[in-house]
Amino acid sequence: MSAPDDLDEDFVGRCYTKARRAPLVHGVVRSVNGGPNFRLPFGPYTLTQLAAIVLSVALLVLSRPLWGGHGLGDLLVLVLVPAGAALAMRHLHIDGRNPAAAAASVAVMLASPRWGRVHGRPLRPARTERDAPRVTLAAPAAGDPLSPARPPAPVPQRTRPAAPAASALRPAAPAPMASGVQALLARRTPPAPTDLEK
């Protein structure tokens, strides 16, 4: 292991994050035949701005019968609307990104599978079981063919020490319960008042 004295004293760290976030811009249209290049007026423009200019000019030309017919005013509209669209695209940022990148991410999100992907394949979650256990809260009638042959055993209840006067007011034995849920519900409800309490 080398000693700290062997290390260089000047450590230089470079970060290119800001440069990578700078948008790619175009200010010149290169000539195909080797002639002079065409410089874009008021440029350079990002790809989003160029797309907004081309799209707005195309929409204005196609919809000219609706808004056109004013002579020099048509030329003014044909210049100002694309310039306004380019200016809006320059200053409009959605979550720190240009609108084209935000729209592309929304399109990818909408086209992706609902539950995402696992190892490149769409995830299909297992179906949940539809059959849930059923609990009957009412005691079956005596003539019911589905009732058990013998009555259910009563659920033991906790005994509380009570005053002798209060024990005389309570019924002697609880009614038979069909399930543990009924026993819990019976414990929860207060006893019905007797004729002596009224």
* pLDDT tens string 143-158: 666 655 566 667 667 6
Instruction: Please check whether residue 182 lies inside any domain of the structure.
Output: no
* 30-39, 131-140, 154-163 — most confident range: 30-39
Instruction: Please check whether residue 144 lies inside any domain of the structure.
Output: no
Distance CA 77, CA 87 (A): 15
Distance CA 103, CA 194 (A): 74
The mean per-residue pLDDT over the stretch 175-187 comes to 71
Q: Which domain holds residue 89?
A: 16-29+37-116
Q: Which of 22, 30, 28 is nearest to 43 (CA)?
A: 28
E strands, the chain, are 25-26, 28-29, 38-39, 45-46, 117-118, 121-122
Instruction: Please check whether residue 58 lies inside any domain of the structure.
Output: yes
Q: Which residue has the tokens 């005013």?
A: 73
The mean per-residue pLDDT over the stretch 13-36 comes to 74
Instruction: Please check whether residue 63 lies inside any domain of the structure.
Output: yes
pLDDT per position as a tens digit, 87-146: 888 888 777 777 777 888 889 888 888 888 888 888 888 877 666 667 666 666 666 666
Contact predicate 115/123, CB 8 Å: yes
Instruction: Please check whether residue 164 lies inside any domain of the structure.
Output: no
pLDDT per position as a tens digit, 41-93: 887 888 888 889 999 999 999 998 888 888 888 888 889 999 999 888 888 87
Specify the number of domains making up the chain.
1
Instruction: Please check whether residue 198 lies inside any domain of the structure.
Output: no
Contact partners, residue 114, CB within 8 Å, separation at least 6: none
What does the pLDDT read at residue 82?
92
Q: Quick one: how far is CA 77 from the chain centroid?
A: 41
Instruction: Please check whether residue 95 lies inside any domain of the structure.
Output: yes
* Pairing label, strands 38-39, 117-118: unpaired
Instruction: Please check whether residue 122 lies inside any domain of the structure.
Output: no
